[in-house]
Amino acid sequence: MGGDGMDTPRMEVLILKKLLITYILAGIIIAGLNQGYAPHASAETARLIDTVWHAYENWIKMLFIIAGVVLTIRLIGRQTSGKLRRRNLYGFSIAALIVHIIGPALTANSELYLFTMPLPWNSLPLQAAAAESPFYLSRLAQWGARGLSLAFVFHLVVTSIILLGTVLFGRRWQCSTLCLFNGFISEVFAPAFPIVGREKTLSSRQLQAFSVMRGIFLFLGCFFTLYWIAYLTGAHAGPWMDLMARLEVIKYLLPELFAAMFFWVVFTGRGYCFYCPAGTLIALVGRISGQRIRTNQGVCIDCKKCSQVCPMQIDIAGSAVVGEDVRSIRCVGCGHCIDRCPTATLDYTTRFLGSISLLRKGGRSE
Q: What domains sit in the chain, N to C, each tagged with a CATH number?
A: 8-285 (no CATH), 292-349 (3.30.70.20)
- The DSSP H or E segment spanning 272 is none
Nearest-angstrom CA–CA distance, 337 and 335: 5
Residue 255 CB coordination number (10 Å):
16
Q: What angle do CA 71, 278, 180 make, to 5 degrees?
A: 25
3-class secondary structure, 42 = coil
**What sections of 97-203 are H helices per DSSP?**
103-107, 124-127, 134-169, 172-175, 183-188
The secondary structure of residue 348, as a DSSP letter, is E
- Given a contact cutoff of 8 angstroms between Cβ atoms, the answer to whether 50 and 228 are in contact is no
- Does residue 237 carry a pLDDT above 80? no
Would you state the pLDDT for residue 5? 43
Nearest-angstrom CA–CA distance, 137 and 26: 28
For helices 277-288 and 134-169, give the axis angle rounded to 10 degrees: 30
Torsion angle of the four alpha carbons 91, 291, 270, 122, in this order, in degrees rounded to the nearest 10 = 80
Q: What angle do CA 154, 157, 158 make, to 5 degrees?
A: 85
pLDDT in tens, 149-173: 999 999 999 999 999 999 999 999 9
**Which of 3 and 251 is assigned the larger pLDDT?**
251
- Does residue 363 carry a pLDDT above 80? no
In 3D space, the residue among 9, 75, 81 whose CA is nearest the CA of residue 342 turns out to be 81
Give the mean pLDDT of the chain.
92
pLDDT in tens, 13-44: 999 999 999 999 998 999 889 878 888 889 99
Give pTM, 2 decimals. Answer: 0.91
